[in-house]
Amino acid sequence: MSKDQISEVFNNIVKSERLPIIFAGSGLSKRYTTNSYDWKELLIKCISNYSDDPLNKYKEYKEEVEHGMEYKNVNKFSVNERIGSFVERDFNKAYYRKQITELRVKEEDSPLKVYVSQLLNQYGLKEEMEDEINLFKSLKEKMLTVLTTNYDTFFEDVVFTKHEKIVGQQIFKKSEMGTIMKIHGCSSLPNSLVLTSKDYDKFQRKRRILSAKIINLFTENPVIFMGYSISDENIKAILLDIFQCLEDDEEFKKFEERLVIVIFDETVKNPLVGTYGMNIEGVEISMTKITLSDFTPLLKEMNKLKRITTLKEIQHIKDLVYDIVEDNEGEKKKLVNLVEDDEYDGDEIVVAIGKESEMLDSVGITGIQASDLFDDLINDNLESTLRGRYNLLAERQLPNLLRGNNVLPVNKYLKNVDRDNIVLEEKVINMERMMPEDFLTNSIRRRGTNYARCNYESLEEIFNAEIPYNKKFSYLVLRTVFDANVEEIQKFLQNYNEALRQINNGNTIYRKLVCILDIKKHKESA
């Protein structure tokens, strides 16, 4: 009977001809990955880096926070953010005192946020949840938008791989449809994490803008809350913002009918479907509640949803249409009637609308190959193709190229991007973080002593020396890392890159040398 009730919930969603929105919380990451931290556990893990008794240190922070707050302001949400501020202060002090030595942090980054990001990025998938994960993955084209307060990258890495990830300030500037909106930041961008009172204050000042952006989504599409507790302050805050914008009881009722919250309860053998009501600052809100211990029946019903793309959506969703044509001043807009047939549902059409120059630039960017980037580092011959479109290259093509290449020169291009208007994939950021020493393998390091005894004076001298190729390659990398300046490396690569690449395994060394050149020439901290 309960499975039939779940079917009825999703039959109503199908009848609405609207794709659902998922509002996803940390419970999903804990269920499917080895990231087992809730907020308290995460803070205690951070505290353990500078305190021998992290649990009691956490309790000390909590006592101090609660003692210093007015009673009316004491809630789990505000207490956590203030504890986060204490943890950041003491963690960062410990880092700068060199009590925490395993981190490598840029000057502009918060050591705590870098640590949290690295911790959450080191996750695996739970083997026992493989069947559920596969069911979840098949939803990637059936959810219109995913909103999450999670920091980790599980959703974009594994499940919603076709959605565009938007983080931080991007949330307030980009289209919200067809995206994963990471409203509290992402571990791929440490400084975007909302962890402390200062971070929350900044977020709260713009929360109404976020609510305004998603209100059309929430008022026209079903919303499924997963991985949150019913009392979660994140849900309450956004729901209250939206309900306060509804104009009458009819809108209020229709909105309630579209809300579904999924609650995990290990004691429930068969799924239960009912109604749940909550009071948020005097506003009574009701929604459908599905309680279960096994998500399989729920995910199977969700997978019955069909991809629905109406002509209206094609014309209005920026990420599906690509872009509405406008002039340089942003004043002239053209809306094209794509199909004359009013009954056409858009299932078989793909459309890209945009400025001719931008469309051509996009095509040009996606045509750039890894070999072009390596050649450009030596000969500076890509500028006419890029035409200043560094954001497009960094956001679209570099991640694609890194799927098939272990290393790429990226610093030349990333130093020209607009960081406030771009979201970089983690693999690109990891490549950017590399330093020359990271290209030294163990076998190369073992030849360091012999290399130092040889007193070679140039890369050219090493290349022309009568020594075995494996030793020659190691010496080339060692000199490039420790002794050669930018001019020497670039001149050597200009003169010898073809000869080097024709030798067995020489292409690998060539790429290492180019990447080291890229770091030394274009990375500010090198």
Closest by Cα among 434, 433, 411, 414 to 424: 414
Same domain, 212 and 272: yes
Same domain, 280 and 179: yes
Same domain, 147 and 286: yes
First to last CA, the chain: 65
Amino acid symbol at 94: A
Same domain, 141 and 62: no
Structural domain harbouring 409: 356-433
Same domain, 26 and 53: no
* Domain annotation covers residue 315: no
User: Domain tally for the chain?
Assistant: 4
Instruction: Please state, as a whole number, how many other Cβ atoms lie within 10 Å of the Cβ of residue 297.
Output: 16
| Mean of all residue pLDDT scores within the chain | 80
Residues of the chain short of pLDDT 70, as ranges, are 1-3, 17, 70-77, 168-177, 207-209, 211-216, 219, 230-232, 234, 245-248, 306-364, 366, 404, 525-526
Matching residue, tokens 């050149």: 517
Of 409, 433, 457, the one marking the end of a domain is 433
Query: Distance from CA of residue 321 to its chain's centroid?
Result: 23
- What pLDDT, on a 0 to 100 scale, did the predictor assign at position 142? 76
- What pLDDT, on a 0 to 100 scale, did the predictor assign at position 312? 37
Cα angle at 109 between 118 and 45, to 5 degrees?
Answer: 40
CA dihedral 66, 70, 74, 77 (to 10 degrees): -90
- What pLDDT, on a 0 to 100 scale, did the predictor assign at position 68? 76
Per the DSSP assignment, residues forming a β-bridge with 333 are: 326
* Domain annotation covers residue 310: no
Environment class of 375 (CB within 10 Å of its CB; exposed 0-12, middle 13-18, buried 19+):
middle
Environment class of 4 (CB within 10 Å of its CB; exposed 0-12, middle 13-18, buried 19+):
exposed
Q: How far apart are CA 392 and CA 385, in angstroms?
A: 12
- What pLDDT, on a 0 to 100 scale, did the predictor assign at position 513? 96
Same domain, 178 and 71: no
Amino acid symbol at 239: L
Helix (H, G, I), strand (E, B), or coil: what is residue 229?
coil
Q: How far apart are CA 38 and CA 30, in angstroms?
A: 8
Tokens coding 431: 């490549």
* Domain annotation covers residue 347: no
Pairing mode of beta strands 333-334, 325-326 = antiparallel
CA distances in angstroms from 522 to 25, 257, 344, 409, 410, listed in the order given: 39, 55, 52, 10, 9
Same domain, 161 and 263: yes
Contacts of 144 (CB under 8 A, 6+ apart): 18, 19, 20, 21, 177, 178, 217, 221
Same domain, 89 and 174: no
Q: Please say whether the beta carbons of 164 and 179 come within 8 A.
A: yes
* Domain annotation covers residue 504: yes
Same domain, 493 and 463: yes
- What pLDDT, on a 0 to 100 scale, did the predictor assign at position 368? 84
- What pLDDT, on a 0 to 100 scale, did the predictor assign at position 439? 93
* Domain annotation covers residue 328: no
- What pLDDT, on a 0 to 100 scale, did the predictor assign at position 170? 67
Of 65, 100, 121, the one marking the end of a domain is 121
Cα angle at 462 between 457 and 467, to 5 degrees?
Answer: 135
Look at the alpha carbons of 217, 218, 223, 226 in this order and tell me if their dihedral is positive or negative: positive
Same domain, 225 and 90: no
* Domain annotation covers residue 179: yes
Same domain, 178 and 31: yes
How do residues 61-93 score in pLDDT, each as one tens digit? 999 888 877 544 555 567 888 899 999 999 999
Closest by Cα among 373, 398, 369 to 383: 373
Q: What are phi and psi of 86, to 5 degrees?
A: -65, -40
Matching residue, tokens 């076709």: 162
Q: How far apart are CA 493 and CA 253, in angstroms?
A: 69
Share of the chain above pLDDT 90, in %: 33
